[in-house]
Amino acid sequence: MDLQLPPRVTDRAFARLAEIAEMTGEAKALRVAVEGGGCSGFQYDIRLDDPAGEDLVLEKGGQKVLVDPVSLPFLQNAVIDFTEELIGARFVIENPNASSSCGCGTSFSI
């Protein structure tokens, strides 16, 4: 049985959050949630938000990433990263729990 660990956030993702805070003048946390829907059964909801009472807070350099308790089991051992490609720049989730995902990268199945 694999050891279940909370998601990990890369330095690149924390750095991008710091850049967003500097550009907007407002330090918001990045919320990563899992919701039902999408073309594969589940989809990621990634947005700037404020912490709530029961959130897991992953923090580095004053920047925060939030995961709610319902989404946490779906994100065990996942890596939250930021990537810049020809198609655009975005936060991405590398999720070992997903058995398949769609091309958009925001929808997956377990």
- Confidence (pLDDT) at 35: 86
CA distances from 27 to 24, 55, 60, 63, 76 (A): 8, 17, 13, 8, 26
Domains contained in the chain, CATH given: 8-109 (2.60.300.12)
The mean pLDDT value of the chain amounts to 85
31 pLDDT above the threshold of 90: yes
pTM: 0.83
Q: Tens digits of per-residue pLDDT, 43-72?
A: 889 999 999 999 999 999 999 999 999 999
d(CA 89, CA 82): 7
